[in-house]
Amino acid sequence: MAETYVTTAYERLQIAHLRWKKRLQKWISRSREKVSFVLIPNDEKPLAQIEISVGMLGFLFGLSISLVLLSFGLLLYFSFFFERNLSLEKKTETQLVSFLFYDLLSKDLRESVEELESMTESLNLLAWEEIPEKEMITQDYLLKEEFRKDASELDSNLLLFQQVVTTYTQFGVRLGNLVPNFQNAIDYLSMRESIFYSMPRGRPLKPGVGVVTSTFGYRSDPFGILPVGEYHSGIDFAAGEGTPIYATGPGIIAVDTAVGGLGKSVRINHENGFFTLYGHCSLILVNPGDRVKRGDKIALVGQTGKATGAHVHYEVRIGLDAPLDPEEYINLD
């Protein structure tokens, strides 16, 4: 009986390795073979010949098949298995509409800011006469841009968002600069308005009542006592005795007794250091401490004190300074 030979596992592995190595070498040898493609043009140009290896041709064929299968798989997936996230789409559309709305709103806001800047500059020129708005203290440090402005056309929600943020940041800086400048001008004009309305203005008699018999400044002595004349510290309005005398500005009654040669007189203390005197009154209608408004009746025309006839002596002063010419304040209106 013949003896049988049994191969070991190692030997079987070596045999399989040699077989696959032989097959691989055969495949590599065949893949290196060239395949020629001849292109025949319609005109009389020479023929074009393209050579490609069998291996490369097989690779391109496999790649094409893979792409076709992948495309078909994606088509099946999006046609039958893909589920749209409707909530996310709706949220995205809402955000897009919101950004577009704010983008349109920013255009209107830009026009409003430019108009406000022009008005603020005019206001500052009116208030400060020669100091334009651009020379006032600015506050550029209040806000800083977080995005760089992209001049290209918007092609995504992110770029639109960046432009909206940038635009509103710029407006925030410009408005931050306008507010203090505008407020400074308003405060200054309010102070000037307060001074204007608190200072004496107009005549102590009604319009058309009384005539000016003596103006402010040096004049001859109406009594003929002083040959060189005298300094007249106010304006005299002659009127019939008992004619009402009115306050020329708001203030507080300070004096209702005789002051020098003014006889019965009234002093009104106004704001900002102004005060007015009304002399030669026949009757005082107010008491010390009373608060009066411009146009309130305070006394009646008379000829008490050093007077040659019925009239009211009207003076305007500031603190302890020399008397001011009342005509400048009478003509303020």
Is the pLDDT higher at 286 or at 144? 286
* Residue 89 tokens, joined: 């789409």
Distance CA 193, CA 185 (A): 12
Average pLDDT over residues 163-190: 74
| Helix ranges restricted to H, 46-156 | 54-76, 86-128
Model confidence over 107-152: pLDDT tens digits?
777 777 777 777 777 776 666 665 544 444 444 444 444 444 444 4
Helix (H, G, I), strand (E, B) or coil at 104: helix
Distance CA 318, CA 328 (A): 14
- 324 within 8 A of 303, measured Cβ to Cβ: no
- 223 within 8 A of 302, measured Cβ to Cβ: no
Where b means 16+ CB within 10 Å and e means fewer, 78-113 reads eeeeeeeeeeeeeeeeeeeeebeebeeebeeeeeeb
pLDDT of residue 114: 77
- 305 within 8 A of 258, measured Cβ to Cβ: yes
Q: What is the DSSP string of 106-122?
A: HHHHHHHHHHHHHHHHH
Is the pLDDT higher at 160 or at 62? 62
Model confidence over 5-40: pLDDT tens digits?
667 888 788 888 888 888 888 877 777 777 777 777
Model confidence over 214-271: pLDDT tens digits?
888 877 666 556 555 678 889 999 999 999 999 999 999 986 555 678 889 999 999 8
Q: How many CA atoms lie within 13 A of 103 on its CB side?
A: 13
Full-model pTM: 0.48
Give the containing element (helix H, strand E) for 297: strand 297-301
CATH 3.40.50.300 fits 211-328, yes or no: no
Model confidence over 64-82: pLDDT tens digits?
999 999 999 888 888 887 7
120 burial class (0-12, 13-18, 19+ CB within 10 angstroms)? Answer: buried
% of the chain at pLDDT higher than 70 = 78
Task: Parse the chain into domains and list their residue ranges.
Answer: 9-81, 86-138+153-198, 211-328
In the beta sheet, which residues pair with residue 237? 212, 312
